[in-house]
A and B are shown apart, each in its own frame.
Chain A
Amino acid sequence: MNSLFERIIRLRWWILIFLAIIAFTIFAGDFRQDPTTAILAATLRHSTPLVLGALCGMLCERSGVINIGIEGQMLMSAFVGFTVTAATSSLYLGVAAGLACGMLMGAALGGLTVSLQGDQIIAGTVLNIFALGLTSFLYTPGETIHSKTPRINVGPLADIPVIGKIFFANQPITYVSLLLVAVIWYSLFKTTWGLRTRAIGEHPSAAETVGVSVAKMRYLNLIIGGGIAGLAGAYLSLEAVGSFERGMTNGKGFVALAVMIFGRWNPVGAWGAALLFGYTNAIQTQFQFRGWLTGHPQFIGMIPFIVTIVVLAGFVGRARPPAAIGQPYTRE
């Protein structure tokens, strides 16, 4: 009981911010149930690619590899997923293809950083530029798919007022992202695999002395992480928009990195951070709806990017990244 109370005291600012956001949302929703629910549901939807991207970045960084290339991994997967769906008219094949493409991009990052021991930041940038160039070249404008991934209601849970609409009436990748937050949290902190992953990110040579293969574990994490970024890409083209556009990731891969840092390299923290960023997107629509600041839409469009910068500037110093991050590992 006492520790719960202490926890609440420790998190008091976050709880206050959370309550303030809810209060503002109800106000922005004109004190009616439907718009308020809509804003919160949109928050969850907008947070999906961000939390997936952050989970990707987290797996990579926890194992000691910076992944600046999330943006490129997402974009490439969005394109591949879309193209496969356009060719086979199967959404699920498309999502699977996006996932596979992400894993391949993860392996490519591993090749550049683990096997060839290149600079991790440059390797990630290469992925970004490469994805942008290749997708622009291969994309034929006018290609379409006829549907998006369908909304699935979770039985009677979807009928609960407010909560049901927010959490239990979503599209598949959004459910998967929620599941992944739990799975990755458990894997990172409660399994041998997680312990090893964290060990090679903190002190690779110590991990190697007790028989953990640093290279193998880094590859594994980069490939799994890439797959998760691939899901984020598939979300963008197949779940959110239902088409592909050049450069459609629009900086989300970088925002995801800020989400990861804000969440202190912890899946649950990242989920909370992603919701905050998703909220800055979701509230924009409501601003337009209520006619607030409509004369200056550009300032509303800036919000997510400015929040990212503020978060980085305000929190980076206080959150500690894995110690061995950014350095190629050479066995001695």
Chain B
Amino acid sequence: MKILRSALVPIIAVVLALLAGALLIQLSGSSPREAYSALFEGSFVGWERFGTTLEKATPLIMGGLAVAFAFKGGLFNIGGQGQLLFGALIAGAAGYGFTGLPWIIHMPLALLLGAAAGAAWGAIPGVLKATRGAHEVITTIMLNFVAANMAEWLCTKVWRKPGDILVRTPMIEGSAEIPTFGNIPLGFLIAVAFAFGMWYLLQKTTFGFEVRSVGLNPNAASYAGISTKRIVILTMAISGFLAGIGGSIETLGVLGRYEPGFNAGLGFDGITIALLARTNPIAVIPSAVLIASMDASASLMQFKAGVAPEITDVIEALILLFVATPIIVRWFFKSRQGEEISFGANWGSS
């Protein structure tokens, strides 16, 4: 019953968004019914398509977890895009740079190096916030642009395969690949494991309690003896770590190399997913699958119903709009208002 009640707001948001999307499709001269049946068919009908949906859901789960974890600590990480990118890039470099290692060592090593890169990239705004009071919303988004430039430089000057005209790393070694079992990608299972791991960390450990305390009331937390600076930096680093895993899996399990542009919009999708899941790590999984199903079927929607594939971006934005619109939340959660985290609380001051 409790689960049903907490699922109510996201479900209503999704339904409202789909209705508004249907109106938009109708207005643009296509049939909403055809479009939505193509959406369903393109993402869930048949094992192969279902596998593709799970594959697309993987970086979204990690991006959603990254945003959700930062949320729990009272931080708004909109730099998931840059952290994913760094994870993907470093995993790609480690994937082709180390040779002669057995799979059991090479694959986890590349995965973890990518995650560490994401963690480092995420820790920068954490340090800037903790020591200098720079708000993470601006620093993380600025670091997205820096990361894109940095990756381009590394790919052209350091890691490019001679003769390759595209800006990308060489293909990774077979020993670094994350395999797919039948239609179920192992990367998806790794992401699911991280979702449960994050739930455990937040709910069952002292560190998780400290993170949540700082998120709800940093003053009370520091009065209780928690070092808020340490928690802010660690929260951002872990958030970046999760995003970095998402990037690593994309490189090692899907693309086989780092290519720029794979992460377009992933950071923002992470925000939608985290809010849709009401920052619950387990709920991030179905939320990400939902968003992934739209991405996976966008081309089929275009083919069958003649709708521009960007309609999925609009529907996703509408979902976010409805899920973040406080009045909907307030209708159903009158009693829970005290638990809201305010991100503007320490805007512009340390």
Interface residues of chain A, those whose CB is within 8 Å of chain B, are 66, 68, 112, 116-123, 125-126, 128-130, 132-134, 136-137, 250-251, 254-255, 257-258, 261, 296, 298-299, 301-302, 305-306, 308-309, 312-314, 316-317, 319-321, 325-327
Q: Given contacts A121-B347, A128-B268, could you give 19 more A-B pairs where the C-beta distance is less than 8 Å?
A: A118-B326, A119-B324, A119-B326, A119-B340, A119-B342, A130-B317, A132-B265, A132-B268, A133-B317, A134-B317, A137-B308, A251-B144, A258-B142, A302-B145, A305-B142, A309-B143, A317-B350, A325-B344, A327-B342
Chain B residues lying within 8 Å of A312, measured Cβ to Cβ, are 128, 132, 134-135, 138-139
Interface residues of chain B, those whose CB is within 8 Å of chain A, are 24, 76, 78, 128, 132-135, 137-139, 141-146, 149-150, 152-153, 156-157, 265, 268, 271-272, 275, 308, 310-311, 313-314, 316-318, 320-321, 324-327, 340-345, 347-350
Interface of A is mostly: helix
B132 and A137: CB pair below 8 A? no
A321 and B321: CB pair below 8 A? no
Chain B residues lying within 8 Å of A313, measured Cβ to Cβ, are 128, 132, 134, 139
| Minimal Cβ-Cβ distance residue in B for A306 | B146
**Given the contacts A125-B78, A134-B317, A254-B142, A325 and B347 also touching, CB distance less than 8 Å:** yes
Q: A126 to B272, alpha carbons, bound, how many Å?
A: 9
Q: A251 to B265, alpha carbons, bound, how many Å?
A: 14
Interface of B is mostly: helix
Among B142, B268, B321, the residue within 8 A (CB) of A308 is B142
Residue contacts A-B, CB under 8 angstroms, 20 given:
A119-B343, A119-B344, A120-B343, A122-B324, A129-B272, A129-B316, A133-B314, A134-B313, A137-B24, A137-B311, A137-B314, A258-B142, A298-B150, A302-B146, A305-B145, A305-B149, A312-B132, A312-B139, A313-B128, A327-B344
| Minimal Cβ-Cβ distance residue in A for B315 | A133
A133 and B313: CB pair below 8 A? yes
Chain B residues lying within 8 Å of A129, measured Cβ to Cβ, are 268, 271-272, 316-317, 320
Among A116, A125, A258, A302, the residue within 8 A (CB) of B327 is A116
B132 and A126: CB pair below 8 A? no
Q: A119 to B340, alpha carbons, bound, how many Å?
A: 9
Chain A residues lying within 8 Å of B342, measured Cβ to Cβ, are 119, 326-327
**Given the contacts A112-B325, A117-B326, A66 and B153 also touching, CB distance less than 8 Å:** no
Q: A155 to B153, alpha carbons, bound, how many Å?
A: 47
B149 and A301: CB pair below 8 A? yes
Query: In the complex, how many angstroms separate the beta carbon of B291 from the nearest chain A beta carbon?
Result: 12
Chain A residues lying within 8 Å of B143, measured Cβ to Cβ, are 305, 309
**Given the contacts A117-B326, A136-B310, A258-B138, A66 and B317 also touching, CB distance less than 8 Å:** no
Q: A134 to B320, alpha carbons, bound, how many Å?
A: 13
Q: A117 to B327, alpha carbons, bound, how many Å?
A: 9
Chain A residues lying within 8 Å of B137, measured Cβ to Cβ, are 68, 121, 254
Chain A residues lying within 8 Å of B350, measured Cβ to Cβ, are 316-317
Q: A299 to B349, alpha carbons, bound, how many Å?
A: 30
B325 and A118: CB pair below 8 A? yes
| Minimal Cβ-Cβ distance residue in B for A257 | B138
Chain B residues lying within 8 Å of A118, measured Cβ to Cβ, are 324-326
Among A301, A305, A321, the residue within 8 A (CB) of B348 is A321
**Given the contacts A261-B348, A319-B348, A134 and B134 also touching, CB distance less than 8 Å:** no
Query: In the complex, how many angstroms separate the beta carbon of A271 from the nearest chain B beta carbon?
Result: 19
Chain B residues lying within 8 Å of A112, measured Cβ to Cβ, are 324-326
| Minimal Cβ-Cβ distance residue in B for A139 | B310
A298 and B153: CB pair below 8 A? yes
Query: In the complex, how many angstroms separate the beta carbon of B112 from the nearest chain A beta carbon?
Result: 27
Among A122, A137, A319, the residue within 8 A (CB) of B313 is A137
| Minimal Cβ-Cβ distance residue in A for B128 | A313
Q: A68 to B318, alpha carbons, bound, how many Å?
A: 18
Chain B residues lying within 8 Å of A117, measured Cβ to Cβ, are 326
Query: In the complex, how many angstroms separate the beta carbon of B333 from the nearest chain A beta carbon?
Result: 13
Among A250, A305, A317, A320, the residue within 8 A (CB) of B132 is A317
B145 and A317: CB pair below 8 A? no
